[in-house]
């Protein structure tokens, strides 16, 4: 008996055919992604060969998990009943179900890759929770009947080919003994055990080129790895220094800026910021517009020639315009985390989506100290991405398009629904930007009439796939692509400003516009720095002339800058600082993914911390967007570790809680 026949007795022919089919289909997907990103992938013979080889090994490991249940069934099923009706039903059903699962996952991977240029990750896991938005978005973005029909047609074709090759016949009619079935069963169990115990998804990442790393992975395996590990312990996975040294490093920087630590003996950053010029405090209303996926590259101010942002390009010359500003992360919840908590991005899930994320010190607490009401506006249901729980649990009133999802009973806040008659257009993610702005104006009118200063955090949704919006507003058809969505987003901002300028309260209202993140953050580099570049501007600031700010900063700095411009004395637990007062050596931006944590300095030096206790130091070339390796800088390394380690420590140990700072909830 040959070695092949020992591992593949006739009773196991269908199972091996199933394994082979998965490997072939997975390889095809891998090649599709390779050609898709051909200009970016490292296609040298050695690198592409290793990419495919690693992918092949991960395919074997992945399919082994699926093979075990049927292998065990084959092992224990008595020989005298081979080919019985029960045996045929179980076999046909299991094989068909396996094919459907694989084909569905491959189709899903293609759509996921189109959006994120990644294999499945924690984003895909999150999408399982928010099925309404995701399913509706898919339905509005892709021809679902065609896709489902394609999956069913391919399944039928594969079933036909399997039957035609006589695979079922060999599986049902044979004399394979129990002993002969032990070896192949043990093989699949051993492979699955090796992968479960010793192989991590990140073991596929053997290349400097990020796309090679992603292509080497297997989508299903990546999905379950993300499901298992969507939170990362900083102390377990990243380089660290003694906690006291980390806080000493961070707090020394705050002292240099003139901040006074309120609890210098504790592992905290809580401090006082004083208005050294003794100018009177200004307390205008503040409307912050967080624009979905607005990359800097969309604006004519940054070289775009499509003329899709005429409003924002005009505002660039009539505002405090930050042209060297970077998003802290790659998703909306990361932007919200950075803006509200003013904190470097912690590894794993955003704090917005974690447990125990209520009663924290946010920018809302600073506004509360100054007597403001605080409102969070969202055009969809704020249940999505845990937004309502986060904002409501941190003192904001909620205005959203509720669909019946109730907030936690422990959260004491006011929730206002956006009613049907207030909506002119709606897609999977929420109402059109014009509609949410109209609601903002309505609530602002009410607050003004009540004599209350207000801070509004407004999250837009129109610049998102499926890129649909009301027809007739701009000269690009709805649903035609990103450029149209950007142009409509810009148009809606223009209409909002036109309306608010007619309001009595406008003369005492600051409007801030900034992106939550870029439209795409993926690239072949460890961190694609250029894809973190976002626009940000402040309008109607009291006694402040328009200016283009070249200093490097990130989202965490925007509100500390505003507080400084308003001459506020306040206590703070925020990492951000006044951009305008930054010295050249202080300019920096925190940029990161859920695994890679980066610090970009004003001279375009970049340090990146990885989750295998590694760090890499680079020179960023703005023109080519290349990261050029440098010899590690110990002082820079200590700076980045200190900031990220203390941020993680504060959240994990209650240092962001109002109670820990002696403040009442």
**Residues labelled catalytic:** 332
SS (H, E, C) 538-569: EECCCCCCCEEECCCEEHHHHHHHHHHHCCCC
Q: How far is CA 401 from CA 171, 279, 426, in A?
A: 55, 41, 10
Angle at 649 between CA 648 and CA 654, to 5 degrees: 110
What phi-psi label fits residue 68: left (phi over 0), alpha (psi between -120 and 50 degrees) or beta? alpha
Angle at 570 between CA 565 and CA 574, to 5 degrees: 85
Q: State yes or no: 365 annotated in a binding site.
A: no
* Residue 453 CA to its chain's centroid (Å): 33
Residue 583 exposed, middle or buried by CB count within 10 Å (0-12, 13-18, 19+): exposed
Maximum Cα–Cα distance across the chain: 94
β pairing state of 597-601 and 588-592: antiparallel
Cis, bond preceding 466 (omega within 30 deg of 0) = yes
Q: State yes or no: 517 annotated in a binding site.
A: yes
Distance CA 148, CA 155 (A): 11
Distance CA 402, CA 416 (A): 8
Phi and psi at residue 291, in whole multiples of 5°? -90, 125
Q: State yes or no: 292 annotated in a binding site.
A: yes
Torsion of CA 514, 628, 598, 244, to 10 degrees: -140
Distance CA 592, CA 608 (A): 8
Q: State yes or no: 516 annotated in a binding site.
A: yes
Helix (H) or strand (E) segment spanning residue 319: none
Measured in Å, how far apart are the chain's first and last C-alpha atoms?
75
Q: Are residues 437 and 387 in contact, defined by beta-carbon separation less than 8 angstroms?
A: no
What burial letters (b/e) apply to 406-435, b meaning 16+ CB within 10 Å? ebeeebebebeebeeeebebbbbbbbbbbb
Handedness of CA 343, 637, 326, 586 (dihedral sign): positive
Q: State yes or no: 205 annotated in a binding site.
A: no
Distance CA 121, CA 222 (A): 6
Q: Which of 455, 278, 258 is nearest to 370 (CA)?
A: 455
Number of Cβ atoms within 10 Å of the Cβ of 53:
11
Distance CA 612, CA 340 (A): 29
Distance CA 48, CA 53 (A): 9
Residue numbers in the known binding site are: 292, 332, 464, 516-517
Binding residues for Mn(2+), as ranges, are: 292, 332, 516-517
Provide the annotated binding site for substrate.
Answer: 464
């Amino acid at each position: 008996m040959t070695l092949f026949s020992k591992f593949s007795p006739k009773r196991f022919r269908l199972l091996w055919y199933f394994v082979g089919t998965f490997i072939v289909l997975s390889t095809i997907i891998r090649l599709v992604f390779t050609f898709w990103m051909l200009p970016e992938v490292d296609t040298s013979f050695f690198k592409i060969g290793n990419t495919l080889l690693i992918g092949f090994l991960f395919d074997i490991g992945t399919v082994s998990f699926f093979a075990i249940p049927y292998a065990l069934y084959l092992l224990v099923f008595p020989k005298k009943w081979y080919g019985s009706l029960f045996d045929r039903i179980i076999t046909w059903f299991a094989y068909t179900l396996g094919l459907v699962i694989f084909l569905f996952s491959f189709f899903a991977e293609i759509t996921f890759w189109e959006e994120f240029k990644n294999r499945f990750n924690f984003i895909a896991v999150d999408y399982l929770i928010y099925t309404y938005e995701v399913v509706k978005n898919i339905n509005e973005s892709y021809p679902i009947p065609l896709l489902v029909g394609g999956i069913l047609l391919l399944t039928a074709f594969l079933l036909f080919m399997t039957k035609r090759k006589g695979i079922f016949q060999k599986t049902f009619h044979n004399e394979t003994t129990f002993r002969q079935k032990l070896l192949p069963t043990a093989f699949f169990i051993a492979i699955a055990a090796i992968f479960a115990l010793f192989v991590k998804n990140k073991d596929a990442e053997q290349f400097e080129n990020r796309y090679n790393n992603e292509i080497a992975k297997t989508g299903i395996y990546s999905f379950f790895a993300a499901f298992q590990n969507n939170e990362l312990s900083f102390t377990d996975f990243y380089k660290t220094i003694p906690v006291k040294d980390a806080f000493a490093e961070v707090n020394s920087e705050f002292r240099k800026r003139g901040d006074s630590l309120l609890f210098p003996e504790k592992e905290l950053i809580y401090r006082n910021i004083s208005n050294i010029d003794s100018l009177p405090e200004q307390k205008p209303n503040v409307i912050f517009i967080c624009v979905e996926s607005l990359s800097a590259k969309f604006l004519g101010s940054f070289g775009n020639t499509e003329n899709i942002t005429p409003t924002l390009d005009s505002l660039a010359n009539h505002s405090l315009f930050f042209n060297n500003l970077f998003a802290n992360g790659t998703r909306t919840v990361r932007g919200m985390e950075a803006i509200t908590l003013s904190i470097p991005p912690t590894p794993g899930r955003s704090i917005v989506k974690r447990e125990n994320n209520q009663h924290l010190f946010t920018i809302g607490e600073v506004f509360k100290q100054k007597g403001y009401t605080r409102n969070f506006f969202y055009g969809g249901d704020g249940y999505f991405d845990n937004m309502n729980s986060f904002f409501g649990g941190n003192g904001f009133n909620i205005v959203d398009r509720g669909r019946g999802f109730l907030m936690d009973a422990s959260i004491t806040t006011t929730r206002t629904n956006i009613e049907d008659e207030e909506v002119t257009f709606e897609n999977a993610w929420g109402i059109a930007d014009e509609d949410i702005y109209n609601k903002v104006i309505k609530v602002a009118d009410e607050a003004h009439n009540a004599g209350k200063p207000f801070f509004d955090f407004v999250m837009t949704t129109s610049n998102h796939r499926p890129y649909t919006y009301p027809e007739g507003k701009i000269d690009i058809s709805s649903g035609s692509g990103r450029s149209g969505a950007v142009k409509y987003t810009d148009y809606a901002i223009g209409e909002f400003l036109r309306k608010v300028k007619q309001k009595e309260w406008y003369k005492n209202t600051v409007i801030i516009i900034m992106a939550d993140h870029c439209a795409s953050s993926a690239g072949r580099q460890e961190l694609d720095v250029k894809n973190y570049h976002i626009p940000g501007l402040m309008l109607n600031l009291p006694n402040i002339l328009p200016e283009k700010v070249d200093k490097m900063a990130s989202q965490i700095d925007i509100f500390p800058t505003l507080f400084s411009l308003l001459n506020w004395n306040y206590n703070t637990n925020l990492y951000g600082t006044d951009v305008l007062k930054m010295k050249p050596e202080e300019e920096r931006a925190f940029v990161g993914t859920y695994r890679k944590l980066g610090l970009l300095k004003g001279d375009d030096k970049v340090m990146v911390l990885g989750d295998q206790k590694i760090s890499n130091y680079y020179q960023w070339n703005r023109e080519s967007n290349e990261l050029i390796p440098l010899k590690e800088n110990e002082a820079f390394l200590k700076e980045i570790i200190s900031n990220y380690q203390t941020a993680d420590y504060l959240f994990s140990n209650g240092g962001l809680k109002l109670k820990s700072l002696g403040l009442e909830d």
